[in-house]
Amino acid sequence: TSFGFRQVSEEQKGKLVGEVFESVASKYDVMNDLMSLGLHRLWKDRLVSKLCPFPGMQHLDVAGGTGDVAFDVLEAINRVEQRSLQVLPAEADAEDETRVYVCDINPAMLEVGKQRAKKRGLAGLPSLQWVEGNAEHLDFKDESMDGYTIAFGIRNVTHIDRALKEAHRYDMYSFAVIPAVGQYVAGDRNSYQYLVESARKFPTQERFASMIADAGFQDVQYENLVGGVVAIHSGFKL
């Protein structure tokens, strides 16, 4: 398989992908803002609103990096909870059971995420869990999640089909992804080349939708944003 300008084994590629994100972890969020002109925040908001998070939800955000999607999911759940507290005060204690897992292959990214959680007053909450893991073989039990998201991360995964199969193991409720977009400025030319290439080589929206369906998801749909620069794919495990 290729990595930037080099030919490498699949195992080496996994390691190299890890190193790219190791080298960019501290600059990652600034880069995201710069490269998308801040739009990634709107795209993530859209992703989370399509997910319809609810109190008590078990949600897995894979390639969760520095926690953006997980924070949005938790905040959306809190908003629903505040509303239901006003209507049904006795029913609104599901927050205790809510679990949003941020799973990422790179501990440096998770570390940056934990620091960000602290700044947002989310540190130490049982509802927010940080887990090191690979999208292609995750350690959670079958049928243990209500939702699964992977935002901008699926194109970094070596075997997309394996990651989709893993997603299908857990998910009862919905699956949503933002596959395309983005060229991140990494520290060295090879990393940069890899990141540009991974965006360019990613399957088309139609093709990716059929890969999601092949993994067993139903009612697979996608929504193009900014003319298809970014797309949100979703599907259900019924």
The H-assigned helical ranges of the chain are 10-24, 28-36, 39-51, 68-87, 107-119, 160-170, 189-200, 205-214
Instruction: Say whether residue 106 binds ligand SAM (CB under 6 A).
Output: yes
Binding ligand SAM (rule: CB under 6 A), the pick from 76, 109, 128, 186 is 109
Q: What are phi and psi of 137, to 5 degrees?
A: -150, 95
Binding ligand SAM (rule: CB under 6 A), the pick from 74, 76, 157, 232 is 157
DSSP 125-148: -TTEEEEE-BTTB--SPTT-EEEE
Instruction: Retrieve residue 227's tokens.
Output: 């003319």
C-alpha dihedral over 185, 191, 193, 195, to 10 degrees? Answer: -70
Instruction: Say whether residue 112 binds ligand SAM (CB under 6 A).
Output: no
DSSP designation for 204: P
Q: Which residue number, 55 or 194, has a Cβ lying nearer to ligand SAM?
A: 194
Q: Which residue number, 99 or 116, has a Cβ lying nearer to ligand SAM?
A: 116
Instruction: Say whether residue 151 binds ligand SAM (CB under 6 A).
Output: yes
Contact yes or no for 150/167 (Cβ under 8 A): yes
Q: Which residue number, 32 or 174, has a Cβ lying nearer to ligand SAM?
A: 32
The length of the chain in residues reads 238
Instruction: Say whether residue 73 binds ligand SAM (CB under 6 A).
Output: no
Binding ligand SAM (rule: CB under 6 A), the pick from 48, 51, 69, 164 is 69
Instruction: Say whether residue 127 binds ligand SAM (CB under 6 A).
Output: no
Count of residues in contact with ligand SAM, rule CB under 6 A: 21
Instruction: Say whether residue 65 binds ligand SAM (CB under 6 A).
Output: yes
Contacting residues toward ligand SAM, per CB under 6 A: 17, 21, 32, 62-65, 68-69, 104-106, 109, 134-136, 151-153, 156-157
